[in-house]
Amino acid sequence: MESLFQQCVDTYGGVDICVPNAYYSHRAPFLELDWEETRRTVEVTMFGTFHACQLSARRMAEQGRGGKIVIISSVMAAVPHTINTSGPYNMSKGGVDTLAKTMASELVQHNITVNTIHPGWIDTRGERQFTSEAEMARLQHRLPLGIGRPEDVAEAALFMASSRADYVTGTTLTVDGGFTVAQRIPGVHADPVCGKPVHLIDDGGM
């Protein structure tokens, strides 16, 4: 990662924007979680983000012209009860959110803004490792605005990294197509789309 940031400086003359999107997920019921896979999830997802943020912030502070850090977190940091078997990932994203707020308060003196984005259910290669085509199709009709595209998250990141968000720091932009507001307790509340009891535990993961 240090080499990557040095390449950025050598090629572009500095670091002005950083969008950490570190991701790894080990999924299993809590009682069956493997320690090594759990640790790898935390190391990549949380510590990977930490290193990217620190390296970029150091460069930005040295340059003296401010900068933007936009961290890709997850709605699972806010509503982990809506899904099963993602404990290490949810824990990591929760840590990332807290780190972002701490960074925002400390780095404001360097004119560096720090914000997070909470994507919802996005159709990515990573998600398709855990969710079958049939499950994806079913979710497409159950979520208020359907499953999102990577471009939906990218557009949000572009806004947060632009001058239009100069007065925004320490906050979260949720890009979930209504996923968060539509959630109910699985098996208890009605599905907001089809009106039947929800069983998200059976629907794979995010």
pLDDT of residue 183: 63
Show the tokens assigned to 16.
């002005």
Whether residue 27 contacts residue 205, with contact meaning beta carbons closer than 8 Å, is answered with: yes
Q: What is the CATH number of the domain that holds 167?
A: 3.40.50.720
Which amino acid is present at 47?
Answer: F
Show the tokens assigned to 43.
């190391």
Question: What radius of gyration, in Å, describes the C-alpha atoms of the chain?
Answer: 18
Q: Please give the sequence-ordered ranges of beta strands (E in DSSP) within 41-120, or none if there are none.
A: 67-72, 112-119
Q: Which of 12, 23, 24, 89 is catalytic?
A: 89
Q: In degrees to the nearest 10, what's the CA dihedral of 188, 182, 123, 81?
A: -50
Which amino acid is present at 168?
Answer: V
Whether residue 120 contacts residue 180, with contact meaning beta carbons closer than 8 Å, is answered with: yes
Residues 6+ apart with CB under 8 A from 202: none
Would you call 120 exposed, middle or buried from its count of C-beta atoms within 10 A (0-12, 13-18, 19+)? buried
pLDDT of residue 83: 60
Beta-sheet pairing, 112-119 with 67-72: parallel
Range of the domain at 72: 2-203
Active site residue 12: no
Q: Which residues of the chain have pLDDT under 50?
A: 185-190, 192-206
Backbone angles phi, psi at 163, to 5 degrees: -65, -20
Whether residue 183 contacts residue 142, with contact meaning beta carbons closer than 8 Å, is answered with: no
Domain count, the chain: 1
3-state secondary structure of 176: coil
